[in-house]
């Protein structure tokens, strides 16, 4: 029992489906792996920043613990001197006294007006800065007669950490402050900047010191010279920090997605308790710009679409080529079948025509029948040659081209005359070529057959043999595709009968024997020129 054969179209559909499934699976995993890579890098960066920030803030809080009482003492000395010298006089002398013995001069003095705006200070960048955001704290300390030291504050415009003392000046609504600038923080701060700035996906990184009394210190780790925040901005920072702090709770890490001005961001939050102070917790916030991930995914999608189109184009081309190949195979199969079908009827027709000539003599009808038989015989010989050329080994021998050409021209003269045409042979060469008889026959016969078929009615077909050059000259329509006409099944004029096999057979033969061919157009005539390799001593043309 014969096994059922799977159709080519079915195989193509199966492979195409397989290709598409594999393609979309690979695309899915590529996108997922890209997301996981970004997620992994984000988490790693977050924990690195958290560790570095914790080290920096722990170091600063340790200084805060050590310097807190010193700052109060410095405040008392400076406060008393200011009362003696006057509030609006130069503070330089007091500044030098309180910083005596300190190379970096970490202490500064600030005096506000009645509206809490700094009007006199040894730290000139703060002239005009409004302290009214801390009004409630000032009044609370005044009411309770307290001298408090603020938790460390980071000022982005100076890239420094400060702590402040504050107290009302006697008989006024003016505030007196002394600040301490924390020392040796640059190296630790630069480590954080390095991590933030070398990662282009980071949009913002900040940490908050959250005290139980409600104070919130905001640390924006961006390496640029910023400005002091406005009162509204400070209130906004405080509100946001409280919301985040309450959301995080005891969770180690939470993730949030934001959309600001049509830009999407991912924010990671975490908090931990200070190892130095029980009443201080540190909140960390790292913001990533999601556009970088989206761009990577878009690149993957663009490449995927391109590869998909290329893949589909290849399948389409293969399908078309395969379809063409099937048509060619069907034609070859038809030719093989035709050879078997034509052989017997052709022999019968030839035999009966010969008997008719013997019995009744030749007439115009028998002449036309003979021409038709020879035309059919030429086609039959072509098809037979195609079937046997790769199966049979024909003997190569030296053939005298002139004699062979005379014989073939004589054979085709009948065909030419039956179509109102004439073959004229001119030869002055004794060129001998090494070739098989059947291949030389097919080469000459197909050129003569085409010359008769495509030449004008009542025209002369000229055949020239001069030394090693054989020419076929006909008057007819110009051949446009001079190279393509030698391709299999290619015909210039589809209105004229034929299968487009003749010149493809000629092409195989001339390629095999390295016979050069030229197709020219001169004086309204098509000229086929063949350069043979002759082996006679009188020509010696190779």
For residue 384, being part of any structural domain is answered with no
Mean of the per-residue pLDDT values of the chain: 81
For residue 93, being part of any structural domain is answered with yes
Tell me: pLDDT of 57 over 60: yes
For residue 369, being part of any structural domain is answered with no
CA distance 22 to 308: 11
Query: What are 454-488's pLDDT values in tens digits?
Result: 899 889 999 999 989 999 999 988 888 888 888 86
CATH of the domain at 521: 3.30.565.10
Task: Look at 60-74, 246-260, 279-293 and tell me which has the smallest mean pLDDT.
Answer: 246-260
Q: What is the pLDDT of residue 311?
A: 78
Query: What are 409-438's pLDDT values in tens digits?
Result: 998 888 888 888 999 999 887 889 999 998
Contact 289, 207 (CB under 8 A): no
pLDDT > 70: percent of the chain: 82
Cα end-to-end span (Å), the chain: 58
CA distance 437 to 377: 17
Among 257, 289, 321, where does a domain finish? 289
More confident residue, 88 or 276: 88
CA 399, distance to chain mean position in Å, is: 61
Tell me: pLDDT of 248 over 80: no
Q: What is the pLDDT of residue 105?
A: 93
| Cα Rg of the chain (Å, integer) | 51
For residue 378, being part of any structural domain is answered with no
Q: What is the pLDDT of residue 228?
A: 53
Using alpha carbons only, what angle is made at residue 355 by residues 351 and 356, rounded to the nearest 5 degrees?
A: 115
Q: What is the pLDDT of residue 261?
A: 80
pLDDT band at residue 142 using 50, 70 and 90 as cut-offs:
confident
For residue 42, being part of any structural domain is answered with yes
Tell me: pLDDT of 494 over 70: no
For residue 76, being part of any structural domain is answered with yes
Q: Which domain holds residue 200?
A: 10-289
pLDDT band at residue 495 using 50, 70 and 90 as cut-offs:
very low
CA distance 529 to 517: 6
pLDDT band at residue 400 using 50, 70 and 90 as cut-offs:
very high
Domain count, the chain: 2
Among 241, 269, 289, where does a domain finish? 289
φ, ψ of residue 403 to 5 degrees: the values are -60, -45
Q: What is the pLDDT of residue 246?
A: 67
- For the ranges 9-13, 142-146, 363-367, 389-393, the one whose mean pLDDT is highest: 142-146
For residue 277, being part of any structural domain is answered with yes
User: Residue 246: CA atoms inside 13 Å, Cβ hemisphere, count?
Assistant: 6
Q: What is the pLDDT of residue 489?
A: 60
For residue 112, being part of any structural domain is answered with yes
Using alpha carbons only, what angle is made at residue 100 by residues 96 and 104, rounded to the nearest 5 degrees?
A: 90
More confident residue, 221 or 257: 257
| pTM > 0.85 | no
Task: Look at 122-126, 257-261, 330-334 and tell me which has the smallest mean pLDDT.
Answer: 330-334
- Are 281 and 399 part of one and the same domain? no
CA-based nearest residue to 212, from 125, 263, 281, 152 = 281
DSSP reduced 3-state for 189: helix
Q: What is the pLDDT of residue 250?
A: 64
Among 266, 289, 312, where does a domain finish? 289
Tell me: pLDDT of 147 over 50: yes
Q: What is the pLDDT of residue 72?
A: 93
Cα 420 to Cα 151, 232, 318, 417, 457, distances in angstroms: 118, 108, 47, 5, 6
Kindly give, in sequence order, each residue whose CB lies less than 8 Å from that of residue 219, ignoring residues fewer than 6 positions away: 53, 57, 154, 206, 207, 208, 209
More confident residue, 115 or 319: 115
């Amino acid at each position: 029992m014969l096994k059922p054969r799977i159709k080519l179209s079915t195989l193509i559909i199966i492979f195409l489906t397989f290709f598409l499934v594999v393609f979309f699976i690979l695309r899915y995993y590529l996108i997922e792996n890209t997301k996981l890579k970004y997620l992994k890098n984000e988490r790693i960066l977050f924990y690195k920043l958290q560790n570095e920030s914790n080290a920096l803030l722990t170091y600063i809080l340790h200084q805060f613990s050590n310097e807190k009482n010193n700052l109060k003492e410095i405040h008392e000395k400076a406060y008393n001197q200011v009362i003696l010298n006057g509030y609006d006089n130069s503070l330089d002398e007091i500044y030098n006294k309180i910083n005596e013995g300190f190379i970096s001069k970490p202490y500064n003095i600030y005096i506000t007006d009645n509206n809490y705006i700094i009007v006199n200070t040894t730290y000139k960048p703060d002239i005009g800065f409004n302290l009214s955001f801390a009004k409630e704290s000032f009044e609370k300390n005044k009411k309770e007669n307290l001298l408090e030291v603020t938790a460390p504050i980071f000022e982005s415009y100076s890239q420094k950490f400060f702590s402040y003392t504050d107290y009302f000046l006697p008989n006024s609504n003016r505030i007196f402050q002394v600040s301490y600038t924390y020392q040796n923080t640059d190296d630790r701060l630069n480590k954080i900047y390095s991590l933030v700035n070398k990662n282009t996906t980071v949009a913002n990184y900040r940490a908050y010191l959250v005290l139980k009394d409600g104070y919130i210190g905001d640390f924006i780790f961006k390496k640029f010279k910023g400005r002091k925040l406005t009162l509204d901005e400070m209130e906004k920072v405080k509100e946001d920090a409280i919301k985040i702090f309450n959301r995080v709770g005891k969770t180690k890490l939470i993730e949030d997605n934001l959309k600001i001005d049509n830009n999407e961001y991912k924010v990671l939050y975490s908090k931990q308790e200070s190892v130095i102070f029980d009443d201080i917790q540190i909140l960390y916030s790292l913001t990533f710009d999601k556009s970088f991930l989206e761009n990577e995914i878009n690149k993957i999608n663009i490449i995927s679409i391109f590869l998909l189109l290329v893949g589909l184009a290849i399948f389409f081309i293969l399908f078309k080529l395969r379809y063409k190949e099937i048509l060619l195979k069907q034609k070859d199969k038809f030719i093989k079948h035709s050879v078997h079908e034509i052989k017997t009827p052709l022999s019968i027709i030839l035999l009966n025509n010969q008997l008719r000539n013997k019995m009744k003599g030749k007439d115009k009808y028998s002449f036309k029948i003979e021409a038709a038989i020879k035309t059919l015989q030429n086609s039959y010989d072509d098809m037979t040659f195609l079937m046997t050329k790769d199966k049979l080994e024909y003997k190569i021998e030296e053939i005298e081209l002139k004699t062979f050409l005379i014989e073939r021209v004589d054979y085709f003269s009948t065909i030419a005359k039956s179509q109102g045409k004439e073959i004229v042979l001119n030869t002055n060469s004794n060129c001998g070529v090494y070739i098989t008889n059947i291949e030389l026959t097919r080469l000459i016969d197909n050129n003569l057959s085409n010359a008769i078929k495509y030449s004008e009615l009542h025209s002369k077909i000229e055949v020239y043999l001069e030394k090693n050059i054989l020419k076929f000259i006909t008057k007819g329509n110009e051949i446009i595709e001079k190279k393509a006409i030698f391709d299999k099944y290619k015909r210039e004029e589809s209105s004229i009968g034929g299968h487009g096999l003749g010149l493809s057979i000629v092409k195989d033969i001339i390629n095999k024997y390295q016979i050069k061919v030229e197709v020219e157009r001169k004086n309204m005539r098509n000229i086929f020129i063949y350069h043979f390799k002759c082996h006679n001593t009188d020509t010696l043309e190779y």
